[in-house]
Structure 1
Amino acid sequence: MSKATFAVSMIALGLGCSSAVMANTKVPVVTSFSVLGDLVQQVGGDHVAITNLVKANGDAHVYNPAPMDAKAIASAQLVVMNGLEFEGWMPRLLESSNFKGNKVLAADGIEVIKGHSCSCGGHGHHDDHDHDHDHDHDHDHDHDHDHDHDHDHDHDHDHDHDHDHDHDHKHDHGHAHGEFDPHSWHSIKNVKVYVKNIEQGLTKVDPNNAEDYQRNAANYIQQLDKLDIELHKKVALIPEDKRSVITPHAAFAYMARDYNIDFHAPQGTSTESEASAGDVANIIKQIRSEGIKAVFVENISDNRLIEQISRETDAKIGGQLYSDALSEPTGPAPTYLKMMEYNIDTIVNALK
């Protein structure tokens, strides 16, 4: 073999290796918390390498980002977060990381529920949702989406400013979310929107695998639809007037709306909000007057208040619900599908 032929062969071999390496490179994606980590994995499959910030059983309300989080974001092609001001620490983290990649606000386009700092004695799922606000919210975020969400930090700032006065009279002494309840993943209908937003985000940064993302998303939505039917059948076993549930913080308004379950909580929509003595007294009074049989603890909350309420009433602790985080892989709720099934099963079994 001549030197020229050898050189050409080596160049071709080198190009072939480069192509193979490039073909096997996974898209670096950062997700804000474990539920989104699972959803991105379902859509992205083998094409994504996910760094999830708030781990299993972690509380995103009070999360303090670490230097390694900023490093992960700086090298990511896509950042996926819930939106609706759930991750109050994320705008600063993105700014400090000098992130220039693409962002997905997973909750863009859902039918939102107005947030309540305290749902004591209330029937949150019977409230009339402000559809004008839904429309405006969706429109604003569609606009964000068209512009890669580049100004979402400013939007969050304006949003906070506009609605600060909404919380002046509430019992919320810690971090408060904005006008809308951010715990929107507790609705399968909403998560189908999440999945489509994630599919679009992955397709934008990795168009070569668009067909795989589309197929994975479609398959996963079929699984969601199947589970939704099963969960409605399970809830239907409990008479409507017996579907009252007490949880530590108000994280289940979307589940309440979809499955016609009455959720009450001494704390507001953030685990940092503090329940007043009056809030707790109202919950205890309600349990006694309605004959509520079970209260529930959460995987991310300080459950001492619920334990106190249980001691002072005839309500038993009906189990642990997974609210703002999945369980560890060996736990009962390591994926979104398993979390939804486990939560409904736990509620139904306790209320039977």
Structure 2
Amino acid sequence: MNAVSRLSAALLAVAALCAPAAASAEPLKAVVSFTVLADVVKNVGGAHVEVRSLVPPNGDPHEFEPAPDHARALKNADVAFVAGDGLEGWFERLAKAAGYKGRPVAVSAGVKTATMEEHGETVTDPHVWNSPSNVLVWVANIEKALAAADPENAAAFKANAARYSEELRALNAYGHSRFDAVPPEKRRVLTSHEAFGYLGREYGVTFLSPQGISTEAEPSAGGVAALIRQIRSEGVKVYFLENSNDPRLMRQIAEATGARPGGELYPEALSGPDGPASTYLAMMRHNIDQIADAVAAQSAAQAR
């Protein structure tokens, strides 16, 4: 090789080192319906996934109204995630407006869901994340979807999923340790709407609520009156407000029944970064502690 050839080879080598990273090295663009799910996707995706939540912190995923910016984000996404089971009734309209041709990953597929009667219809309760056991199913579905979209980083997604799954199992054990100490018949509280059915199923807590599964449904006067009678007859003494819902009805019911405030819960939206529920794990621990403290105090007061 002559001097000119050697120089050319050296310049090519330098150019290769200085060239921008290949497109495949860029993080996947994931658009996620709401903040709780977005945090779980972040934990599985790690540095290889750029996550955007459509619904903001403290936002209600039932009543969300997408804007043009959300349509642009979805159109440019490499992968989209929703909970499914009817939670995001607005997503189909957004996808059509965005011209999004992909199919969103419904992460609750495979979860053993619960149903209930609401306004004469049988509906599925979509709030599955309020049991950490169900989020283990989410994690498996998210890992599979990310690995399919970015096979080069499949090993990283698998490792992230394994680590996060252990954290979820530890969280679930913590929840049982808090509630198992309270007699089952004393684990009764009042909340704004029926978002905690899976937490109740996991830890043996009964939740009474004036609204149904969706915050869009307005409770009837007769339904509220029946609930007030039930609260009085069963001796429920504590109520909780929810970060993403209007508190006025709950306060009226509390005034009518003498129930005391137990604090604020986060059933379907994370708080801002400085709040007590900035991640899914923090949200669940906060909710568990608030409810467990309240029912334990209620039980102790009734025992005196």
Q: Verify same fold: TM over 0.5.
A: yes
Equivalence for 1:338: 282
1:70-104 Cα deviation digits (max 9, x unpaired): 11111110101101111011012112222234531
Deviation at 1:179, TM superposition (A): 2.6
Corresponding residue for residue 40 of structure 2: 39
Matches within 5 A, 1:176-187: 179-187=123-131
CA distance in 2, matches of 1:100, 1:7: 46
- Residue 183 of structure 2: aligned partner: 239
**Partner of residue 174 from structure 2, selected from 230, 241, 244:** 230
Instruction: For 1:40-189, list aligned pairs within 5 A.
Output: 40-101=41-102, 103-117=104-118, 167=119, 169=120, 179-189=123-133
Question: Aligned partners of 2:285 and 2:254: how far apart in 1?
Answer: 25
CA displacement 1:162-215 (0-9 Å, x = unmatched) = xxxxx4x37xxxxxxx73111111111110000000001110111101011001
SS at match of 1:203: helix
**Aligned partner letter, 2:200:** A
**Equivalent-residue separation in structure 1 for 2:59 and 2:15 (angstroms):** 45
The RMSD of aligned alpha carbons is 1.8
- Who is 2:154 aligned against? 210
- Could you say what secondary structure the match of 2:135 adopts? helix
- SS of residue paired to 2:104: strand
Q: How far did residue 335 of structure 1 move?
A: 0.8
**1:271 is aligned to 2:272:** no
Q: Give the aligned residue type for 2:210.
A: P
Give the corresponding residue for 1:323: 267
Change (3 A) 1:311 1:201: same
3-state SS of 1:62 partner: coil
Q: Give SS of 1:295's match.
A: strand
Give 1 or 2 for the bigger CA radius of gyration: 2
Q: What is the alpha-carbon distance in structure 2 between the residues aligned to residue 13 and residue 181 of structure 1? A: 58
Partner of 1:290: 234
**Residue type of the alignment partner of 1:308:** Q
Distance 1:197 1:207 in 2: 15
Partner Cα distance (1:206, 1:48) in 2: 10
Equivalent residue, structure 1, for 2:135: 191
Give unpaired runs (5+ residues) of structure 2. Answer: 297-304
Partner letter of residue 290 of structure 1? E
2-structure distance, mates of 1:12, 1:74: 37
Q: Per the alignment, in what secondary structure is the counterpart of residue 269 of structure 2?
A: coil
The match for 1:173 is none
In the alignment, which residue of structure 2 is the partner of 1:129? none
User: Following the alignment from structure 2 to structure 1, what is the Cα–Cα distance between the partners of residues 257 and 70?
Assistant: 44
Contact 1:116 1:181 in 2 (8 A): no
Instruction: Tell me by how many angstroms 1:324 deviates.
Output: 1.2
Q: 1:211 to 1:15 in 2, by over 3 A?
A: same
- Asked whether the 8 Å contact 1:76–1:101 carries over to 2, the reply is no
Offset of residue 5 of structure 1: 5.2
- Name the SS for the 1:96 alignment partner: helix
Structure 1: which 5+ runs fail to align? Answer: 118-166, 171-177
Q: CA deviation at 1:20?
A: 3.0
TM-score by length of 1: 0.80
**Secondary structure of 2:21's partner?**
helix
SS at match of 1:179: strand
How many residues are aligned here? 295
SS in 1 for 2:87: coil
Indicate yes or no: 2:259 matched with 1:310.
Answer: no
Does the CA contact (< 8 Å) of 1:77 and 1:102 recur in 2?
no
Partner of 2:192: 248
How far has the Cα of 1:21 moved from its partner?
4.9
C-alpha contact (below 8 Å) 1:103/1:201 kept by paired residues = no
Residue 58 (structure 1) shift: 0.2
For residue 299 of structure 1, what is the aligned residue in structure 2?
243
Q: CA offset at residue 15 of structure 1?
A: 3.6
| 2:39 partner SS | helix
Whole-Å separation in 1 of the counterparts to 2:124 and 2:10:
62
